[in-house]
């Protein structure tokens, strides 16, 4: 048996060879600390970090000065949500977010609730979308931040960021988006947001490095205090190879995202069609909403889901939803928020395609899934 068909690219992606090539010299040859301002080793590292910052800024339509490198999206989200709350508490103590956000957002909000902030968790409809009028009605004179993810990691459902921004920002309220699953999958810019986060390992860059974009007027204290790196935004010696890789990964991903999106959505749609023809009881969650081109959140009939999620004897790598909630005991909070009953949510998995995915992979995945469902539902 060959390696498992990997269809878990929303969990993480392999490092693109172009990215790896750019990173390698920064482990062994240019290993200086960018904070070493007195010699050429430090200068080389610092120049590479600033070049990566420009790559990210260019790809996202941002100013380089507004790009901070972090250890990943979770850190960016924590820094922004907690930082904004604490810095703007004098203006108001109300935050709005959505029930289907990543746990990094939800748990940051829970921490703030324990500190006396009020958080509104907006519901979503059966397609995973918020009601914009409901969002607008939830805004109060006390609201300091609205945080809505751009694309959902479990279902791929895409929120209408421009329309949300238009309703929020005119009132002087900050608008933040977690674009971790969006950057590189469709065109993303910071034009209409105040805060944006993303992560290297979701876009064929390395793990342990991410971006926090903050518009000029947004004041946020550092979450990690240290030697004043990143203009005091984040202490700690910079992860130079990671940052170099992230810069290259963002540039590559953003320059090819149009053609890659078409290819992936065709593969995904064909896979769904084939599964639906063979297994009429199968369901695809969020399918009626605008969705990421690579993602299919699938509810399997019968008892096949657990078997498929356990790696189907090493043949297929898919996941229950959020890789970051591994070992989950209950049903997905995203599917639950969409009104999917727990017994169906527990029979659901996320299939996510990526740059290396071929038609042969999706054909094989269809065979494995259809075979497992038929075998495990046969009476």
Query: What positions carry a catalytic annotation?
Result: 324
CA 120/CA 295 separation, integer angstroms: 28
Rounded to a whole number of angstroms, the minimum distance from the CB of residue 72 to ligand PLP is 3
* String of DSSP letters for 172-234: T-EEEEE-TTTBTTB---STT-SEEEEEGGGTTS-SS-EEEEE-TT-----SS-SS-TGGGTS
- Among candidates 39, 58, 109, which has minimal Cα distance to 247? 58
Rounded to a whole number of angstroms, the minimum distance from the CB of residue 319 to ligand PLP is 10
Residue 68 or 322: the one with the smaller Cβ distance to ligand PLP is 322
Decide: 373 and 312 in contact? Cβ < 8 Å: no
* String of DSSP letters for 239-269: -HHHHHHHHHHHHHHHHHHHHHHHHHHHHHH
Residue 326 or 358: the one with the smaller Cβ distance to ligand PLP is 326
Rounded to a whole number of angstroms, the minimum distance from the CB of residue 161 to ligand PLP is 14
Rounded to a whole number of angstroms, the minimum distance from the CB of residue 183 to ligand PLP is 10
Residue 46 or 239: the one with the smaller Cβ distance to ligand PLP is 239
With a CB cutoff of 8 Å and minimum separation 6, the contacts of 211 are 56, 60, 67, 68, 69, 70, 76, 196, 197, 198, 199, 246, 250
Decide: 195 and 214 in contact? Cβ < 8 Å: yes
Rounded to a whole number of angstroms, the minimum distance from the CB of residue 323 to ligand PLP is 5
CA 364/CA 371 separation, integer angstroms: 10
Rounded to a whole number of angstroms, the minimum distance from the CB of residue 199 to ligand PLP is 3
Residue 32 or 156: the one with the smaller Cβ distance to ligand PLP is 156
Residue 66 or 181: the one with the smaller Cβ distance to ligand PLP is 181
Residue nearest to ligand PLP (CB): 72
Task: Tell me how many helices (H) and strands (E) the chain has.
Answer: 12, 12
Q: How far, in whole angstroms, is CA 327 from its chain's centroid?
A: 19
What's the 3-state SS for 9-68?
CCCCCCCCHHHHHHHCHHHHCCCCCCCCCCCHHHHHHHHHHHHHHHHHHHHHCCCHHHEE
Residue 176 or 316: the one with the smaller Cβ distance to ligand PLP is 176
Cα(first)–Cα(last) distance of the chain, in Å?
A: 28
Rounded to a whole number of angstroms, the minimum distance from the CB of residue 367 to ligand PLP is 28
Q: Is 42 exposed, middle or buried (0-12, 13-18, 19+ CB in 10 A)?
A: middle
Residue 44 or 325: the one with the smaller Cβ distance to ligand PLP is 325
| Sites of contact with ligand PLP (CB under 6 A) | 72-74, 102, 104, 149, 153, 178, 180-181, 199, 210, 322-324
């Amino acid at each position: 048996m060959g390696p498992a068909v990997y269809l878990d690219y929303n969990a993480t992606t392999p490092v693109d060879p172009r990215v790896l090539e750019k990173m390698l010299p920064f482990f062994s040859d240019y290993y200086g600390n960018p904070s070493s301002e007195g010699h050429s080793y430090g200068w080389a590292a610092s120049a590479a970090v600033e070049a990566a910052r420009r790559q990210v800024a260019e790809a996202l339509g941002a100013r380089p000065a507004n790009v901070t490198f972090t250890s990943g999206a979770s850190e960016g989200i924590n820094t922004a949500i907690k930082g904004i709350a604490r810095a703007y508490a004098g203006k108001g103590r109300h935050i709005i977010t959505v029930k289907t956000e990543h746990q990094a957002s939800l748990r940051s909000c829970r921490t703030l609730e324990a500190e006396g902030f009020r958080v509104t968790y907006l519901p979503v409809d059966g397609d995973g979308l918020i009601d914009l009028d409901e969002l607008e009605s939830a805004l109060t004179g006390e609201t300091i931040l609205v945080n809505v993810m751009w694309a959902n990691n479990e279902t791929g459902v895409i929120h209408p960021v421009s329309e949300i921004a238009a309703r929020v920002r005119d009132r002087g309220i900050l608008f933040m988006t977690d674009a971790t699953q969006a950057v590189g999958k469709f065109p993303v810019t910071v034009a209409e947001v105040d805060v944006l986060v993303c992560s290297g390992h979701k876009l064929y860059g390395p793990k342990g490095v991410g971006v926090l974009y903050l518009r000029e007027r947004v004041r946020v204290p550092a979450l990690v205090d240290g030697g004043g790196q990143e203009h005091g935004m984040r202490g700690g010696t910079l992860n130079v190879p990671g940052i170099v890789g992230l810069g290259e990964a963002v540039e590559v991903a953003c320059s090819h995202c149009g053609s890659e999106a078409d290819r992936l959505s065709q593969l995904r749609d064909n896979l769904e069609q084939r599964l639906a023809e063979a297994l009429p009881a199968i369901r695809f969650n969020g399918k009626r909403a605008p969705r990421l081109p690579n993602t299919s959140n699938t509810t399997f009939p019968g008892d096949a889901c657990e078997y498929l999620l356990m790696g189907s004897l090493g043949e297929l790598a898919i996941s229950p939803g959020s890789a970051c909630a591994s070992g989950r005991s209950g049903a997905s909070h995203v599917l639950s928020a969409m009104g999917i009953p727990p017994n169906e949510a527990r029979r659901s998995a996320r299939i996510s395609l990526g740059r290396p995915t071929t038609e042969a992979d999706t054909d094989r995945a269809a065979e494995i899934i259809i075979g497992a469902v038929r075998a495990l539902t046969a009476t």
